[in-house]
Amino acid sequence: MVKELQLRVNLIEERKEDILKKKASKKLEINIASITAIKVLRKSIDARKKDVIFNYKVAVYINEPLPETPDYVFDYKDVSNAKEIHIIGFGPAGMYAALRCIELGYKPIVLERGKNVQDRRRDLRAINQFHDVNEDSNYCFGEGGAGTYSDGKLYTRSLKRGDVRRIFENLVYHGATEQILIDAHPHIGTNKLPKIIKNIRENILKYGGEVHFDSRVTDFIIKNNKLQAIQLQNGTEMTVNSVILATGHSARDIYELLHKKDILLKAKSFAMGVRVEHPQEIIDQIQYSCTGQRDELLPAAAYSLVHQVNNRGVYSFCMCPGGFIVPAATANGEVVVNGMSPSRRNNKFANSGIVVEINVDKDLPKYEKFGVLKGLQYQKDLEKLAFNAGGRTQVAPAQRLTDFVEGRFSHSLNETSYQPGLNSSPIHSLLPKLIGSRLRKGFTAFGKKMHGYYTQEANIIGVESRTSSPVNIPRKDNLEHPQIAGLFPCGEGGGYAGGIISAAMDGERCAEAAIANL
């Protein structure tokens, strides 16, 4: 017999051997010897009260052996000679689109502007050490897309958009640990992601798909409103039938190309702000109500904050406990920050984007002349402003949190994880009021919600500008562009995802739609 149970375990109990068995036998009023095994189905931590509680959902096997761990099998087919689907971009959306094509018996041909995950590392080093941004290979572009050198947080709110569990199982199939199927807030870590991504690529190749690196798509050949061919930067032209456009929200050249060709786009609301960095110990102490270091059984603490200021949300975004702030620019002449963390989340800093909602219809009157690309232009301008304020390299402008809120220049800054370095700048007077004044009110409110958060030991670093796409590439119910037959806008770049998992799910859906179109 198998019974499912919810069990609560405190920190002292968590250290005890067989604690789940003991608790289960007590709760079920059965002899402990009759419990053959316990399988953890879900684990979460509740730190709202001083006594931290681990909440477990378990399956209790009574007089019955634990079945072998299921192999997560995906029915991939040999597609070497199958009909082709072209996929532009090899981020989560493109990777999962390619895998789904193979499952359904179609051959994915992937075109990726960046390099493979190994070679990409060299270009990241060049950004961090020499401030040199390769416009095809950086923290956003290259194998695995923007999700590769990230936190690998696998949280998504878009539960309706597809089968989240299926995406997780597929990650396990390609080498992620089964822990991601259990944790309430699963994450993989930037040190583990590259191997998984390499396994995905090798699997695609093994079944007859194609993945071409250094293959930036630079033009679409359209006749009678039907996509006929795509052109690469090396001049190659490829005849196409169905194309999944999964180029992410940093591929500004793609938006500009579509706009130039009069292909329908829409301006989309988005969010921008700064990244805040605290010593992890401060966040641990607030969240776990402890003094000194957190208990070794507890993970680096995270937080999630939101506050309404003058009808706009100010909220934390992509919080990285025990992580690093990274330079996420995709071109020279701009400074963009983002966050990532290793699987153990053992760095001494906690960072998070703190961003303000930008309503594209109301907030950017001076940008109306840019039409549907107004949000994009606004992003560009702030990234340029950050570049100039940092000193015209990848050094980022920064200010102590309290100085920012109270409108003072910082004569010194706190230590940081941001490798290119920081330059003290009066960010309070540089940011547009729309963002700056809301951020200042937001930080004050956050300090009241989390005592100790509002501290001079934190820096704010600018700018956090690539939260989501400022442009939407429309699509019909069948996921095809309303004007251009054969074009399937996909993932974050189209405005249909906001993170690794939702992008992956959209990739699968677009593959199904593109195949249905053949």
Which pair of structure tokens corresponds to residue 33? Answer: 């010897």
Q: Where are the beta strands (DSSP E) in 287-391?
A: 306-309, 312-320, 324-327, 337-340, 349-358
When asked if residue 142 is in the footprint of ligand FAD (CB under 6 A), the reply is: yes
CB of residue 393 vs ligand FAD: minimum separation in angstroms?
19
Total residues binding ligand FAD (CB under 6 A): 45
Q: Which of 515, 196, 249, 512 is nearest to 379 (CA)?
A: 249
**Region near ligand FAD per CB under 6 A, out of 36-44, 78-86, 146-154, 234-242:** 146-154
CB of residue 224 vs ligand FAD: minimum separation in angstroms?
24
For the segment 472-501, give every residue that binds ligand FAD (CB under 6 A). Answer: 491-493, 497, 499-501
CB of residue 410 vs ligand FAD: minimum separation in angstroms?
25
CB of residue 218 vs ligand FAD: minimum separation in angstroms?
7
173 by DSSP, 3-state: which?
A: helix
Q: Which of 432, 424, 299, 419 is nearest to 365 (CA)?
A: 432
CA distance 111 to 234: 12
CB of residue 433 vs ligand FAD: minimum separation in angstroms?
27
Q: Which is nearer to ligand FAD, 326 or 458 (CB)?
A: 326
Q: Which is nearer to ligand FAD, 298 or 501 (CB)?
A: 501
Q: Which is nearer to ligand FAD, 54 or 220 (CB)?
A: 220
Which pair of structure tokens corresponds to residue 320? Answer: 């990285």
For the segment 248-307, give every residue that binds ligand FAD (CB under 6 A). Answer: 248, 250-251, 254
* Element housing 446 (H / E): helix 433-449
The single residue among 100, 107, 113, 278 that binds ligand FAD, judged by CB under 6 A, is: 113
**Region near ligand FAD per CB under 6 A, out of 79-87, 105-113, 292-300, 417-425:** 105-113
Q: Which is nearer to ligand FAD, 209 or 499 (CB)?
A: 499
For the segment 327-366, give every residue that binds ligand FAD (CB under 6 A). Answer: 328, 338-340
DSSP 8-state secondary structure symbol assigned to residue 348: S
In sequence order, the 6+-apart residues with CB closer than 8 A to the CB of 335 are: 327, 329, 383, 386, 387, 390, 394, 395, 396, 397, 462, 463
DSSP 224-288: TTEEEEEEETTS-EEE-S-EEE---TT-HHHHHHHHHTT---EE--EEEEEEEEEEHHHHHHHHH
In sequence order, the 6+-apart residues with CB closer than 8 A to the CB of 247 are: 88, 89, 217, 254, 493
The single residue among 52, 58, 94, 324 that binds ligand FAD, judged by CB under 6 A, is: 94
The single residue among 85, 87, 102, 152 that binds ligand FAD, judged by CB under 6 A, is: 152
Q: Which is nearer to ligand FAD, 341 or 410 (CB)?
A: 341
Distances from the Cα of 292 to the Cα of 49, 282, 366, angstroms: 18, 9, 49
Site residues for ligand FAD per CB under 6 A: 88-94, 111-114, 139-142, 145-147, 149-153, 216-217, 246-248, 250-251, 254, 318, 326, 328, 338-340, 491-493, 497, 499-501, 503
